[in-house]
Amino acid sequence: MAEDGAVTVYNTNAITDTKKNNPFSIKVGLAQMLRGGAILEVTNIDQAKVAEDAGACSVIVSEPVIHRGISRMADPSLLKEIKRAVSIPVMARSRVGHFVEAQILEAIGVDYIDESEALALADEDNFINKHNFRTPFLCGCRNLGEALSRIREGAAMVRTQGELTGSGNVSETVRSLRSIMGEIRVLNNMDEDEVFAFSKKIAAPYDLVAQTKQMGRLPVVQFAAGGIVTPADAALMMQLGCDGVFVGSEIFNSSDPYKRVRGIIQAVRHYNDPHVLVETSTGLADAMAGLNLNEDRIEQF
């Protein structure tokens, strides 16, 4: 039997942490509950209520951008207010490697912690050991090696990361997602003997690479984030293989944020139905106006 605190690997196709108070399989199950949904970034209670009313599966709280400088976790008082105001799960961000911020967020009682590269880095070399926490973590990635490394550290969800500026440019997210899916397809066609060299090439744990090959997908829930501002963007991410999407707070700068959010959520749920996508994309020109005001906020082709 493994010693207490050791990490054993999926005797039933699931990664299992043997700590009785911190089972990784339960964290993965909690993340699975968000599949097929949209997670909205919010900065205040009103936005959180709009997201909940529109059908978001969760909200992730961030501080309003007031000045340039070091970006940190959201104010605990704001997190507590939003948790009281909505009934859906609430996420919060901590800086990469800042395990004390994560401890604070867990003490507040947030439902998920995002170790986010969107904030300033607290530790340039080390990520948080997420097995030390009861709360499920999610982390960003741009390729298969990063995704599996974060899962080994204890991430119960991965976020395929695109641009972080809120410009509405989805191309970087598509590039990262196609990179991950392409590497998984290459892995699926390999002989067993080739998997050792492949895991070394992408700098990922062999056991997780082997599990990914067996499952034909990442071992945990995979969402897409960055530049998703229209129902068509959301449906594109789903058709490329994601389990859900993150939508940035810039969506609330539109003239009718509820209509836009509702359209994206419907697009996620019915991403393979073009007729539903037509309905969700119709009449959003005014709602999109605030997202395309100047040249650096328009997708470049």
Check residue 269 and give its pLDDT. Answer: 94
Token couple for 205 = 């744990």
Q: What is the pLDDT of residue 70?
A: 78
pLDDT for the residue numbered 83: 95
Per domain, the residue ranges of the chain are 23-174+217-281
- Residue-by-residue DSSP string for 217-272: S-SSEEEEESS--SHHHHHHHHHTT-SEEEE-GGGGGSS-HHHHHHHHHHHHHTTT
Q: Which two tokens stand for residue 197?
A: 């060299």
Neighbouring CB atoms inside 10 A of 211's CB total: 20
Which CATH architecture describes the domain 23-174+217-281? Alpha-Beta Barrel (3.20)
Q: What is the pLDDT of residue 166?
A: 64
- What pLDDT was estimated at residue 68? 63
pLDDT of the chain along its 301 residues, tens only?
A: 444 444 444 444 444 444 444 588 899 999 999 999 999 999 999 999 999 999 999 999 988 765 567 788 889 999 999 999 999 999 999 999 999 999 999 999 999 999 988 888 888 889 999 999 999 999 999 999 999 999 999 999 999 988 776 667 899 999 999 999 999 999 999 998 899 999 999 999 999 999 999 999 999 999 999 889 899 999 999 999 999 999 988 888 888 889 999 999 999 999 999 999 999 888 776 545 445 444 444 444 3
Token digits for 299?
Answer: 């997708």
At CA 116, angle to CA 77 and CA 25, rounded to 5? 95
In the chain, beta strands by DSSP E: 7-8, 16-17, 37-42, 58-61, 90-95, 112-116, 137-141, 155-161, 221-225, 244-247
Residue 300 pLDDT: 46
Q: Is there a contact between 154 and 129 (Cβ–Cβ < 8 Å)?
A: yes
Please tell me the predicted confidence (pLDDT) of residue 127: 93
